[in-house]
Amino acid sequence: MTLTMMGIVGIIVLIILLFMGMNVGFCMLAVGFVGFTAAVNMPAAIGLLKTIPFNTAANFNLSVIPLFVLMGQFCFHSGVSTGLYETCYKWLSRLNGGLSVATIGASSLFAAICGSSTATAATMGTVCMPEMKKYGYNDTLSTGCLAAGGTLGILIPPSVGFILYGIATGNSIGALFAAGLVPGILLTAFYVITILIICKIDPSKGPKGEKFSWLEKFNSLKGVFAIALLFVIVIGGIFAGFFTANEGAAIGSFGAFLFMLFRGKVNRKTLKAALYGTIKTSAMIFLIIIGAYVFGYFLTITKLPMSIASGVAAMDVSPYIVLILVLVVYMAMGTIMDSLAMLLLLVPIFYPLIMDLGMDPIWFGVLMVMVMETGQITPPAGINVFVISGIAKGVPMQTIYKGVAPFLLALVLAIAVIIMIPQIALWLPSVLY
């Protein structure tokens, strides 16, 4: 069997194991180890297991992941999500679908301090779902906007997806954060427009809420002040070059803790929950990274990525046709596996190809993260849908997928706009960097 054929067999085995429900990180680790053993020898494969886990855990650059996760945990346990939603609700309640629009707005604000899609979906689902039920919102609309709103968590900086892409490709995390900001606002607008269209067609799906005075509206802004300040300090400081992404994450974590302290939410129970949540999420991400590195070494030794790049480069087609094919592969893989794992698995295969085609790596990173978002709301592995299903008790899974469908269309349209107008993603990095 040739090395290239070994690589193909390895990918097929990996997909089969994923369909069987095995842990994503462990799957990549096991297939990579066995494949490297077959391609080279056992001592070399054991050498990978000796070095990669330690080097990954000891990598200073990766410390940004648990720090940003901790920042999000502190913000979650401080109860900030309630304040964000109340502010958006009071300003938008008189619109048809206003509560759903407020949900998208609050999700985008929470995404600016969280960096995790599932955490955003879970937090907003807990806060917003009871309110939409109270006002008689259609289950399809309410669950769909919650699952879709969660996807903003990995596009609006800080984003774990951008962090992993930056580390895997050697690109600036700060530049990637800057590149994700305007597309994040664009996607938020697309989601809001989707809700307004749905409620224009059928106003009964999103009845108007109660009316608030201007004084109540302006008083509600204090619910977003602390979060806006934290975002400006952390992301603004990174953009301005005052500190690195790691230092910004540390400052953000400390600031979120102070916010939690000032709100009187610091106690043994909340600290334990925040630290446990951080450890659990970080361990999951690190296992995926370690597995992806081992599997990446296996793919490299088989020369499969180079073979694919050479084969595509020999095709007499437009580079944009190649890009669309790559995005379709990412979308297809996103339906069967974790989005972060999918990113790390396919970057070694397609990133060299994209560079050979002369495309901007920062722009490609934004597209990758946006495609990752589609995988979080598409069957059968749409993790955000499962999260919302657990919160919206009694709502069938097919109802949530039906509700997500128009938002998925909006996401695909947003991706198309970024492809056609790359400067939407590249303008801010070009100004700041």
User: Which SS3 state, helix, strand or coil, does residue 433 take?
Assistant: coil
Q: Report d(CA 258, CA 271) in Å as an integer.
A: 12
Contact, 101 vs 92, CB < 8 A?
yes
**How is 271-339 classified by DSSP, letter by letter?**
HHHHHHHHHHHHHHHHHHHHHHHHHHHHHHHHTHHHHHHHHHHTS-S-HHHHHHHHHHHHHHHHTTS-H
Instruction: Say if residue 422 is preceded by a cis peptide, omega within 30 of 0.
Output: no
List for the chain the helix, strand, coil content (%; round to 5): 80, 0, 20
CB 425 within 8 A of CB 183: yes
pLDDT at res. 336: 66
pLDDT band for position 245 (cuts 50, 70, 90): confident
The alpha carbon of residue 67 and the mean position of all alpha carbons in its chain are separated, in whole angstroms, by 16
CB atoms within 10 A of CB 417: 14
How many Cβ atoms from other residues are within 10 Å of residue 100's Cβ?
31
Average pLDDT over residues 339-350: 77
Full-model pTM? 0.82
Q: Which residue from 388, 398, 411 is spatially nearest to 129, judged by alpha carbons?
A: 388
Distance CA 190, CA 195 (A): 9
Identify the band that residue 129 occupies on the pLDDT scale cut at 50, 70 and 90. Answer: confident
Mean pLDDT along residues 16-24: 77
Rounded distance between C-alpha atoms, residue 312 and residue 322, angstroms? 7
Amino acid found at 353: L
pLDDT of residue 358: 86
- pLDDT category at 363 given cuts 50, 70, 90 is very high
The C-alpha R_g of the chain, in whole angstroms, comes to 22
Taking only the tens place, the pLDDT of each residue in 300-340 is 888 776 777 677 667 777 888 888 888 888 887 777 666 77
Q: What digits encode the pLDDT tens for the residues 268-300?
A: 999 999 899 889 888 888 888 888 888 888 888
CA 408 to chain centroid, in Å, comes to 15
List the structure tokens of 101.
Answer: 């629009």
Whether the bond into 158 is cis, omega within 30 of 0: yes
DSSP state string for 175-239: HHHHHHHHHHHHHHHHHHHHHHHHHHH-GGGS-------HHHHHHHTHHHHHHHHHHHHHHHHHH
Q: Report how many helices (DSSP H) and strands (DSSP E) the chain contains, helices first.
A: 21, 0
Query: Widest CA span of the chain, in angstroms?
Result: 74
Ramachandran region, residue 136 (left: φ > 0; alpha: ψ -120 to 50; beta: rest): left
- Whole-number Å distance between alpha carbons of 344 and 342: 6
Spatial distance between the Cα atoms of 66 and 269, rounded to a whole number of angstroms: 20
Give the whole-number percent of the chain exceeding pLDDT 70. Answer: 97
